[in-house]
Amino acid sequence: MGRWAAWRSPRYEGLAVGQEQAIRRMAGAMARGAALVGVVVSVLCIGVATLVQGVPGFYGSGLGGLLATGSALLTPVLMLRTTTLEPAIVMLASFVGLITKAIVLLAVLFTLGNMAGLHRMSLALTMLVVLVATTAAEARAGSRIKILIGSDPVPPSA
């Protein structure tokens, strides 16, 4: 297994038994996927904004990419904090993470959007594109985790 494949899909020993192990694996996969996609999309947006708007575009897009990629890790963190609670609470925490992420990014946009030296449209577009891309990466990573639903596996009798 190559170095990048190992980072993307760590090897787990055995089945995930119980909600806590399953959520930990899912949150880890979501965080890795969101971080990787966030960095790649941010770099692309920074390059385009720099070409189109120059230094203000670079600063605006760089700040937007940094904030949006960092906020993408909020949902997996909230999921990890709620691993021992009921499944409905874990789902609520992940939804609250998404909503909080959007509200924080809008507040940042309206607060920092008028700063001198930042191109507001580069900041806004980068945050929007990275938010959508990282949310899609989290959803894809979360859906690819194989979870066994049912009772604990019983070892076969000898």
Residues 2-37 pLDDT 10s: 555 555 555 555 566 677 878 888 888 889 999 999
User: Residue 143: pLDDT band by 50, 70, 90 thresholds?
Assistant: confident
Q: Residue 67's closest CA among 134, 117, 7, 139?
A: 134
Domain-located, residue 9: no
Report the amino acid identity of residue 156: P
The count of structural domains within the chain is 1
Which pTM was predicted?
A: 0.78
Domain-located, residue 101: yes
Domain-located, residue 52: yes
Domain-located, residue 27: yes
User: Residue 40: pLDDT band by 50, 70, 90 thresholds?
Assistant: very high
Give me the domain span that covers residue 91.
Answer: 15-144
Domain-located, residue 153: no
Say how far apart CA 22 and CA 145 lie, in whole Å: 8
Domain-located, residue 10: no
What does the pLDDT look like over 78-115, one tens digit per residue? 888 888 888 888 888 888 888 888 898 889 888 887 88
